[in-house]
Homo-oligomer: A and B are copies of this chain.
Amino acid sequence: MTAQRASVKDVALLAGVSVGTVSNVLNRPASVTEKTRTKVEQAMAELNFHRNASARQLRAGVSRTVGVIVMDVGNPYYTELARGIEDRLANDDHTLILCSSDEDPHREAQFLRLLAEQGVRGVLVTPIASTMQRLGELRRLGIPSVLMDSLSSQHTSVGVDHVSGGRQAITHLIAQGHRRILYLAGPTDLQQTRHRLRGAVEAVQAAGLDPADVLQVVNLPYVTANEGQRGLIEALDGPGPQPTAVFAMNDVVALGAMRELRVRGLSIPGDMAVVGYDDLYFAAELMTPLSSVRQPMRQLGWAAADLLLTDHPHTMFEPELIVRASSDLRRT
Contact = CB atoms under 8 A, between A and B. Distances in A.
A140 B3 contact: yes
A130 B316 CA distance: 40
Given A259-B285, A286-B286, A117 B3 contact: no
A2 interface: yes
Interface stretch (A92-100, A144-152, A190-198): A92-100
Interface in A97-151: 97-100, 110-111, 113-119, 137, 140-142
A179 interface: no
Interface in A47-62: 48, 50-55, 57-58
A65 interface: yes
A65 B97 contact: yes
Interface in A158-189: none
Contacts of A2: 140
Interface string A61-101: 00101000000011010011011001000100101111110
Contacts of A1: 140
A31 interface: no
A99 B114 contact: no
Contacts of A99: 86, 95-96
Contact of A114 (B95, B100, B114, B225): B95
Given A50-B113, A97-B96, A259-B285, A3 B119 contact: no
A5 interface: yes
Copies in the complex: 2
B100 A97 contact: no
Contacts of A212: none
B53 A117 contact: yes
Interface of A: 1-5, 48, 50-55, 57-58, 63, 65, 73-74, 76, 79-80, 82-83, 86, 90, 93, 95-100, 110-111, 113-119, 137, 140-142, 225, 252, 255-256, 259, 262, 281-282, 285-288
16 contacts: A3-B142, A48-B137, A50-B113, A52-B117, A53-B54, A54-B54, A54-B55, A54-B63, A54-B118, A65-B118, A73-B79, A76-B76, A96-B99, A98-B98, A262-B287, A286-B286
